[in-house]
Amino acid sequence: MSDKKDYTYKKNPMSKIRKSYFVRLVGRCFVFVLSIVIFIVYPEWMNVLYGDNFFKKFSPLHILWMIWVIDMIYQFIPVKERIPLGSQKLFRQRFKPIRGKINYQELKKYVVSTTKAAYKVFIIWSVLILILGILYQYTIFSAPHLFLISVAFYVCELICVLVWCPFRLIMKNRCCTTCRIYNWDHLMMFSPLLFINSFYSVSLLIIAFAVWVVWELCVMMYPERFWEQTNQALKCSECTDKLCTQYCQKLRKKY
């Protein structure tokens, strides 16, 4: 009998929340395809994007508006099961302080470095949105086009969480749980709607901006909640979400 050891890498079982996120990704892909069908076959349903048409006639876009608003409301309140820790780490209820004295000098360095990286992302994203605005100004894009781009971003958000995130190249974060810009998602998602003057677009942007402001204020007021060296809950050893990719799963032994 061979006594060779099996060094095959064994994958960790997929977490409940990661499974639910894959279901959501499929749902979002369906929403994107349905939005394209509406754009082509039922363009009149897109009229809700203009002015105060939101209050004049029902459209399937109302349902999507409601889903988006509910998603953003969840980012204002501490929730343990439905929402990943990466999005909820600003709340005291999700904070698990490390034992011992906090090195506030190192904490400050961390906050400064991650904030600089975050605003690099902000600048890059702003340039992208500016380009969309120029295309809209010259009527190359219309309001429905910008809406479809927002829905595409809606899909891409979960691809970033479940598959690969290009922002990690700038942020240098290990995973979504430690991501400095996790709750920037809705503001980035709805930013193409900035150029549409309607209740539909303005209402989404105002709520998304409020979520962003709360997040940024908490980073400044409670920075210890956002760093794994001061918040034990952010360490791989404490992870319950297990949303990270297979690449990150292999790195867990290092953390």
pLDDT tens sequence across 110-130:
999 999 999 999 999 999 999
185 pLDDT higher than 70: yes
> Residue 1: pLDDT above 90?
no
Give 10's pLDDT tier (boundaries 50, 70, 90): low
- pTM of this structure: 0.90
- Band of the pLDDT at 11, cuts 50, 70, 90? low
pLDDT greater at residue 214 or residue 2? 214
Residue 16 has pLDDT above 60, yes or no: yes
Q: What is the mean pLDDT of residues 96-111?
A: 90
Distance CA 250, CA 12 (A): 9
Q: Output the pLDDT for position 2.
A: 45
**Cβ-proximal residues to 59 (8 Å cutoff; 6+ apart), any chain:** 45, 46, 47, 48
- Asked whether residue 96 carries a pLDDT value surpassing 60, the answer given is yes
Residue 255 has pLDDT above 50, yes or no: no
Q: Is the dihedral of CA 163, 168, 172, 178 positive or negative?
A: negative
Residue 249 confidence class, pLDDT cut points 50, 70, 90 = low
Average pLDDT of every residue of the chain? 90
For residue 174, what pLDDT is reported?
83
Q: Is the pLDDT of residue 246 over 70?
A: no
Q: How confident is the model at residue 245 (pLDDT cuts 50, 70, 90)?
A: low
Residue-wise pLDDT tens digits, 123-178: 999 999 999 999 999 999 999 999 999 999 999 999 999 988 999 999 988 888 99
pLDDT of residue 12: 61
Q: So what's the pLDDT on residue 61?
A: 97
6: left (phi over 0), alpha (psi -120 to 50) or beta: beta
Return the top range by mean pLDDT from 37-41, 161-165, 231-235: 37-41
- % of residues, the chain, pLDDT over 70: 91
Determine the average pLDDT of the residues in 207-231: 96
